Amino acid sequence: MDLRIGFGYDVHRLVEDRKLILGGVEIPYARGLAGHSDADVLVHGIMDALLGAAGEGDIGRHFPDTDQEYKGISSLLLLERVGGIIAKAGYAVGNIDSVVVAQAPKLAGYIAQMEENIAFALGTEKGNVNVKATTTEGLGFAGTGQGIASYAVAIIVKKLPG
């Protein structure tokens, strides 16, 4: 069986007058993430992990922030496109493990929906997607509430012919 692994990381600054979208879920919070798209830091990290595993570069290469087509776009739509890129390369999602790093808001109540959204966008089983959340105990930019980060690893498997 041909397995490949990829790693993704993303970070966005928290700002006023933006919705907070993580894993395709709008989370009630006083601030949201700054970015060209919906700035879904979790999905961005996952996209980079999948693209890296397939040897297909990163999200900036496929969806540049200089292209108006992607202004305000849902990151779940971009994730669907990444699923198409890895499928065209002959691979399917094996599994994804990810973590959101944020001091606030608390995310535990939203994680199941995030996993479902991500799995649906990729056409894979929910059990293939794992999302965790952690704080930094008040340390660093995430701990002081300046931004949110995400890390992800993804395994993709070569699809069998036919």
CATH number at residue 18: 3.30.1330.50
State the pTM of this model.
0.96
Residue 144 assigned to a binding site: no
Residue 36 assigned to a binding site: yes
Look at the block and give the residue holding tokens 């999200």: 59
Residue 120 assigned to a binding site: no
- Burial class from Cβ neighbours inside 10 Å (0-12, 13-18, 19+) for residue 156 reads buried
C-alpha distances in Å from residue 135, one per residue of 21, 65, 109, 149, 162: 17, 28, 15, 10, 45
Range of the domain at 24: 3-158
- 160 pLDDT band, cuts 50/70/90, is confident
Q: In the predicted model, what is the mean pLDDT of residues 41-51?
A: 98
Residue 63 assigned to a binding site: yes
Q: How many domains does the chain have?
A: 1
Residue 66 assigned to a binding site: yes
- Give percent of the chain above pLDDT 90: 94
Instruction: Using the predicted structure, report yes or no on whether residue 123 has a pLDDT greater than 80.
Output: yes
